Structure 1
Amino acid sequence: MGLLRYSADRRTLAIVGSWFVVEAALWSIDGHPWLTAGLFSAACVGAFLAAVATHNTIHCPVFHSRTLEALWKCVLTLAYGHPIGSFVPGHNLSHHRHLETRADVMRTSKARARWNLINIVTFFPSISGAMLRSEIGYVRFAWRRRARWRRQLVLESCVLVVAALALAAVDYKRLLWCVVIPHVYAAWGVVTMNLLQHDGADTDSPHNHSRSFIGKTVNWLTFNNGFHAVHHLRPGLHWSLLPAAHERLVVPHTDPRLIEPSLPAYLFRTYVFPGRRVRFDGRPVVLVEAGADAPWYGKYAPATAQTEGSSS
């Protein structure tokens, strides 16, 4: 038996590992503006891909060994810029279980701008406060109830704080633009994907609740993150198995207008020109009142193994 539960995660390790190489190069380079710009862009993209890997890991563990898995989560914490244990409440327990309801902290009805381009830019900052309050509330609730999760969260937090303090002691300005800004971009990107995947879908439908993007290049880079509908149907399924499951569980039942062949084309059409906020069937999105967030974690903790992988 190998170290990895799925051999496809060699790609995950390689892509996340490359982020550290890019960061080392970006930190050390001076006097080459074009090279610096290229490395900075790569650092932002790499941090976003690490965020996607974080999402995958909390649903399906990478390693057989609990010790290696715990260390891997610390690596992801450094690449993503946030303790990944805190990813669990807002995503697994709120979003997956209560999609687009008031118990879904990142529901798309919180995006209220008439000009759709504004929504994709401001969605993340507009819900950041609610996400933080949700995380803090869940930590308080689960602190005494979930000992292993608590220990892992403390470990990840300590690793992140020690690394940040060490880098700040060397050069705090370089820390901000080399590391912190890519981390902010990663958080913006992974949260904003929620708009692309659910805005204008029929979240009351058992089949038309999510939008999928099936472009090969995007899915190779993002570990099949485009196959989102089947991910909601089978949240514990490893990412390498999603394309086959998509053909079996999504294609026969889902409206084909929710299966997008090209992510760039969708982005341009939806947020640039004509840039209208419409449902998948072409009708305008009718926004319900976003309202206050509803409590969710007290009733449903601890999480099930299917939606949380090994993070319990």
Structure 2
Amino acid sequence: MSVVSATEEHAQAKPARRAEETWLLHHRADRRQIGIVVVYWALLFSMWLVPACRNVVFLALACYFSFLNAVVIHNHLHKGIFKSKTLNRAFRCVLSFGSLYPASANIASHNLVHHHFDDDGQPDWADPYEYYQRTARFSWPLLNLIHFPNVVGPNTFNGVSRWATTTRQKDFRRQYLIEQVFAFGLTGVLFALDFWTTLFFILIPQLWGARGILRINLIQHDGCDTKSEWNHSRNFVGRFFNWIMCNNGYHTIHHNRAGLHWSVLHEVHRKECAGRVDPALDEPSMTWYLVRTFVLGMSRSIDRDAAQQRETEIAAVLAPRAERLAEAEAASLAE
């Protein structure tokens, strides 16, 4: 059996990547993300401009799309949507207004700190374990989910502010400031023009998405083993849910291979996580999980000892295979 070298695999992948590109985007699937942001802004300014749109239905939709806007921030800060660096930076400003926090904060809080958990000696600023250590646990889990952003939000932005003052990335500090000026400045202008409409129909959706994305840390990692290679995250594997969420339900593979574009996470999750991730961490429905866990208080945690034993057994099988592939790769490069 022949082994394809990394160089050959990279060369073979180039035509596929080009097929996914457009003149403006690295990946045509990102049109979905742009569509989410366009719909969200349309909802916000429909409510602000048109009195007939100021109702519960529009407000609920705006809150939902605000959360999706925060999901787009997550994806965009991992892999920029546009080929143009200028457009990517401008889009960060648009996203920052939608969630009323500078999108570039994700670089420090998510990409650098959260993805390493505490492996690099820096504790995750939004770690559920740290939350329970710092806060008295409520007896009703739903209250913990509601209160979670009140604790980890300030902790996260204090951490980001400290990182911003020490990082050598001058471009980051400038971009971070521009996003703050745009997000808070535009919101302030809207407040000055129409205070009450902005308060109820702009600010509430903005804060809903920002707080909702913080709660995802509790939902996706609480009860998991962050020391584990495969059982550190909870996945929500419903197909419709992941279509609208841009595959953010596949969290294990995203942590393990953060460089992958979100559009391929379903396929790679199926190939690499099956048999490795404890079945208790693959949830078919986020809605039922939230009701069962946080409303009804019916927890479903993994058997960590059994999961660790399974990981050890799988590693023992895969290690020789990986070793053989490495040897074959080295041989092919030497030729």
TM-score (ref. length: structure 2): 0.79
Percent identity over the alignment?
34
* Match of residue 67, structure 1, among 83, 86, 103: 86
Note the 1:123-272 alignment, pairs <5 A: 123-142=148-167, 145-272=168-295
Q: 1:166-219, CA deviations, whole angstroms, 9 ceiling, x for partnerless residues?
A: 212211222111111111111111010111111111222111111100111211
Structure 1 unaligned regions, length at least 5: 284-312
The residue type equivalent to 2:30 in the other structure is: D
Asked if structure 1 preserves the Cα contact closer than 8 Å seen for 2:153 and 2:214, the reply is: no
Indicate yes or no: 2:130 matched with 1:107: no
The aligned residue for residue 10 of structure 1 is 31
- CA positional deviation for 1:114: 2.9
Q: Which runs of 4+ in 1 moved over 4 A?
A: 99-102
The residue type equivalent to 2:195 in the other structure is: Y
Q: Distance in 2 between matches of 1:58 and 1:203?
A: 23
Q: Distance in 2 between matches of 1:99 and 1:230?
A: 18
Q: Distance in 1 between matches of 2:228 and 2:153?
A: 28
Q: Distance in 2 between matches of 1:194 and 1:105?
A: 10
The residue type equivalent to 1:281 in the other structure is: D
- CA positional deviation for 1:278: 5.0
Indicate yes or no: 2:48 matched with 1:27: yes
The aligned residue for residue 280 of structure 1 is 302
Q: SS state of the match for residue 52, structure 1?
A: helix
Indicate yes or no: 2:43 matched with 1:42: no
Indicate yes or no: 2:104 matched with 1:85: yes
The residue type equivalent to 1:123 in the other structure is: F
Q: Superposition RMSD on alpha carbons, in Å? A: 1.9
Q: 1:251-298, CA deviations, whole angstroms, 9 ceiling, x for partnerless residues?
A: 13111111111111111111122x144522399xxxxxxxxxxxxxxx
TM-score (ref. length: structure 1): 0.84
Structure 2 unaligned regions, length at least 5: 1-21, 306-335
Asked if structure 2 preserves the Cα contact closer than 8 Å seen for 1:99 and 1:107, the reply is: no
Bigger share in helix:
2
Aligned residues: 278
The aligned residue for residue 299 of structure 1 is none
Indicate yes or no: 2:55 matched with 1:55: no
The residue type equivalent to 1:5 in the other structure is: H
- CA positional deviation for 1:98: 2.1
The aligned residue for residue 326 of structure 2 is none
The answer to which structure, 1 or 2, has the higher relative contact order (CA under 8 A, 6+ apart) is 1
